[in-house]
Amino acid sequence: MREAIPDIFDLPKDVLLDLPRITIVGGHRAAVENHRGIVRYQQHSLTIGYSSGRVIFEGDDLTVHSISSEEVVVEGRIEAVVLQPDEVQDE
């Protein structure tokens, strides 16, 4: 029912369902809105949590350009972006 409401009223799902909005500019900048903070930050990967999973950025020279409660901006050479919803992780 909850997931049907945005379709019925033609509303943005990311707002109503608290889903992340990920914007990638080329391979060197990405912004994640509706995030739940940094889960893991390693030399070649950066994992950012969201309400129902996590998004993993892989690459080199990854830097968190800025972080606020609304948005995390990642910079560096982004080679892969992996979405890991919680269900998948549980399997």
Partner 1 sequence: MRPQRFGGEIRIEITGPRCEQLVNLAVTRGIPLWDLTRENDALRAWIDPGDFSSLRPLVRETGCSVHILQRRGFAFWWRQFFRRRSMVIGLVLCLLLVVFMSCFVWVIEVEGAEEVEPEIILQVAREEGLVPGSWRHDLDLTDLARTLERRIPAVTWVGLHMQGVRLTIEVVDKAGYRGYPSDVPVDIVAAEDATIEEMYVLAGIPAVTEGMAVSAGDVLIRGKGSVSASGTVRGLVRHTGRAEVQLNQKVMVPTGRKVVDVFIGANGLQLPLGWGNKLEEFPFEHYRVRREVRTAAIGWPEPVTVEIERWHYEELSIYARDFTGGEAKQIALAEATRRMHSGIPRHASVLETETSVTLRDNAAVAEVQGVILQDVGVERPIELEDDGEEANGE
Does 27 sit near partner 1 (CB under 8 A)? Answer: no
CA 84 – CA 39 distance, rounded (Å):
12
CA distances from 29 to 6, 7, 21 (A): 29, 30, 14
Token couple for 8: 């019925």
In this chain, which stretch among 8-16, 32-40, 52-60, 80-88 interacts with partner 1, using CB under 8 A? Answer: 32-40
C-beta of 1 vs 42, nearer to partner 1:
42
77 binds partner 1 (CB under 8 A): no
Residues that bind partner 1 (CB under 8 A): 36-43, 62-69
